[in-house]
Structure 1
Amino acid sequence: MQNEEAGFLRSEWSKFTDRCRWSWAGWLIVWREESSVKQWVFANIISAGFALTLDLAPVERALIIALGVLILAAECFNTAIERCVDYTSPAHHPLAKAAKDCGSAAVAITAIAAGLAWLIILFG
């Protein structure tokens, strides 16, 4: 029974490390190929710096930092959508444009949410 459990744990650990490698590879693609991600990382560093130095409640800090991370996640999704669209439809097509525009809108919406959170936290 212990051999079975050890085998299961090794298998799960292997799956976990694979997922970590794939996620890191995806992040490197986004980092290298999308200048907007670098801009958002810079904005997040500034935002987190303010969140950590201003007199905010821990939950307010957590919200600001989490929303900044969600902007980066939205950028990753947007990049994935763009790559899939470019792969399946290299020609200009209204549906391809709509898919890319919707991905971009997702990034904008998360950024608006982060901005609104800052406004509400600072000005009530």
Structure 2
Amino acid sequence: MAEESPFKGQTGLRRLWNALGYSRAGLRAAYEAEDAFRQEVWLALVLIPLACVLATGGIERALLIGSVLLVLVVELINSAIEAAVDRVSLEHHPLAGRAKDVGSAAVLIALLNVLVVWVSVLLS
């Protein structure tokens, strides 16, 4: 049987505090190690305040900001997939390549979603 984390059984505020620490560490690791994530964070730092200025209502603001945050989420998942694949093996394998390509395609679709949402909201 696989060994589980000793923190798995914790509940309440301790669990939330631990989860916050793990999330912070993950964000830091992604920012330091992933050029694409770093670029997308800087893009978010420009687009999110811009969304607050350009949006005329709460729904528009939520759509604009949500589309940008979705890119960050998908990039984090893509980075996790790439790290896991590289951990297993650095040699070229068709399935490893497919996993990385599919993750990259997900990021592309999230970026296209930003474009479609922003154009749709700002031109309506």
Structure 1 or 2: more helix by fraction: 1
Alignment match, 1:73: 73
- Runs of 4 or more off by more than 6 Å in structure 1? none
Alignment match, 1:3: none
Amino acid at match of 2:105: A
Aligned residues: 115
| Structure 2: stretches of 5+ with no match in the other structure | 1-9
Give, in whole Å, the separation in 1 of the partners of 2:56 and 2:101: 35
Q: TM-score, normalised by structure 1?
A: 0.86
8 Å CA contact retained: 2:48, 2:65:
yes
Alignment match, 1:18: 18
Alignment match, 2:40: 40
Q: TM-score, normalised by structure 2?
A: 0.86
Shift of 1:55: 4.7
Post-superposition CA distance 1:29-85 (Å, at most 9, x none)? 100001111111121122122211125221111111111111111111011000100
Amino acid at match of 1:44: A
Q: Which has the larger radius of gyration?
A: 1
Farther off after superposition, 40-49 or 97-106: 40-49
Amino acid at match of 1:83: A
| Structure 1: stretches of 5+ with no match in the other structure | 1-9
Root mean square deviation, CA, Å: 1.4
Amino acid at match of 2:30: V
Give, in whole Å, the separation in 1 of the partners of 2:11 and 2:55: 46
Q: Residues 85 and 53 of structure 1: is their aligned pair in 2 closer, same or farther, counting only changes over 3 Å?
A: same
Give, in whole Å, the separation in 2 of the partners of 1:23 and 1:48: 21
